[in-house]
Amino acid sequence: MSGGHGSRPPLRVTGGRVFLVGAGPGDPGLITVRGVELLGRAEVVLYDELTSAELLLLAPDGALLINVGKRGHAHPTRTQDEINALLVEHALAGKRVVRLKGGDPFVFGRGGEEASACVEAGIPFEVVPGVSSAVAALAYAGIPVTDRRHAASFAVVTGHKDPTRAARQTRWHELASAVDTLVILMGMRNLPELVERMIESGKAPETPAAAVMDGTLPEQQVVVSTLAALPRRVADAGLGAPAAVVVGDVVSLRDQLAWRETMPLHGMRVLVTRASLQSGELTSALRDAGATPVLMPLIELVAPSDRETLAEINAALDHLERYDALLFGSSNAVRFFADHARAAGVDAKFAKLGGHVLCIGAKTARAALDAGLPIHFVASGRGDAESMLREILQTMSPEGRQVLIPRSDIGRNVLPDGLREAGARVDTIQVYRNVRPAVDGAELCRDLVSESLPVLTFTSPSTVNHFSDLLDESARAAVSRCTIAAIGSTTARALHEAGFAPDVVPERPDVNELVHGLVAHVAALRQESREQEEQEEET
């Protein structure tokens, strides 16, 4: 690690450390494995304005998250000196500090200055490289920076400075002829002047060029033209920062190699109402289909804290061996049950359970296995309580059995009531609770009325009920114009009861099946629209 000029100050023995982590160009999936690991152990995270909300979810509960407001070279909320001071302050307090930076820390990211601040304060640091938008944004646009048919070299320059000063510092005359592909970052504000300098320096006006805004994100936009026409085309399309500009013959490959825009849900904003701790799989599946997930958790799952409920949980855990069966209706029930068992120091009993462990669906079973529980029965039907009850009654006799069902505070009574009717003795314990987080209902209503949220997803009746309560009259009417997806039949019933008709209900309550259903529904709508247009043209 290098820290600048002169002798290096001795490292302070504080336990604190700074990690300069490249978050990548925007797509949260492009962060490095090392970056994910460090975020998961961070005590303080200083992040840029453009950092994905999904990456911040990787930080532990209780970590201090500080938005330092850097958005390219727009006016930052905090100066660079203030950011440096925050890094030093928290590290000297013994904290593990992650500085989460867009792209790569050392590619026009001022990571070198932050590293120097650490050296001067005697703080150990580590640099975790990130994927730079100079390469990634173009790749997502179907434009390789090099290709042996067109380009064997490329250069990356910054275009944010005053054009006259940039003309002196960036040797445009040499660059115009020295490299095959030229990439300009932070150059949208000065694009007309920069293009003029390039042409004056010998770059042919007809050279293929492109601008990629919001590169690697589902809302990515691309404008392709000649170099001379690029500023006008960019202005006409309304493109702005953040964007990467590329100049060179490789741009001509976009017609053949563009892949982002062919994704089935490209550019569609999709409301994700699931609890934040559970939203990762759904948001990932949506991004894989090209959609833009809009995270608005309408429920949060928390462990109970009142003395009476905790006493009931501990009483059941103290006498686990008396139960003939443990029945889990969700992976959340497994997770919270296992957490309570570990806190009580009785999780070692899992390996010695004499009773059967019954799970609803493969994901619940996987969660149980991960918790150290043996699995004896996995319901394979629709994934709801009714189908699980039928399968249990078909495969075993509940009569006389003692059954424990860990569940939420709003758990349905289908399973306990059905098993009791069949002769079982059933205890239920509330191992977690559903609570309503604070939500900006006015913003949600505005998005619905403006039709900027064309797709809505719901994964439980609780999300449906909270959503319905947030709507005003105009927003409620706007919902009828949205595509609505329910993860299963129980959630679909809640939607119908709230006055909304779901368009997509997968046969099994699975997030991947939910997204597959959305893809098929959207494809059918687009096909119907094309056929209607063809009929109108014929008439």
* Residues noted as catalytic: 48, 70, 186
SS3 275: coil
Q: Which two tokens stand for residue 513?
A: 């099946």
Q: 512: closest CA among 351, 212, 285, 264?
A: 285
DSSP bridge partners of 344: none
What is the token pair recorded at 432?
Answer: 């977690």
Tokens of 475: 């927003």
Beta bridge partners of 356: 325
DSSP, collapsed to helix, strand or coil, labels residue 521 as: helix
Residue with tokens 């152990």: 41
CA angle 521, 532, 507 (to 5 degrees): 15
Which of 394, 396, 393, 413 has its CA nearest to residue 405?
413
Residue 483, SS3 per DSSP: strand
User: Exposed/middle/buried for 159, CB within 10 Å: 0-12, 13-18, 19+?
Assistant: buried
Tokens 């050392």 found at: 106
In the block, tokens 């492109």 appear at 210
Degrees to nearest 5, angle at CA 380 with 375 and 383: 105
Q: From CA 412, how far away is CA 433, in angstroms rounded?
A: 13
Distance CA 109, CA 276 (A): 30
What's the CA gap between 361 and 388, in Å, rounded? 9
- Start-to-end CA distance of the chain, whole Å, equals 72
- Starting at the edge strand found earlier in the chain, the sheet holding 455-458 runs 292-295, 269-272, 455-458, 483-486
What size, in residues, is the chain? 539
Rounded to whole angstroms, the Cα distance separating 126 from 497 reads 54
H-type alpha helices, 382-460: 385-395, 414-421, 441-449
Q: Which two tokens stand for residue 133?
A: 């938008």
Number of neighbours of residue 534 by Cβ within 10 angstroms: 10
Burial 67-93 (b: 16+ CB within 10 A, else e): ebbbebbeebebeeeebbebbbebbbe
105 cis-preceded (ω within 30 degrees of 0): no
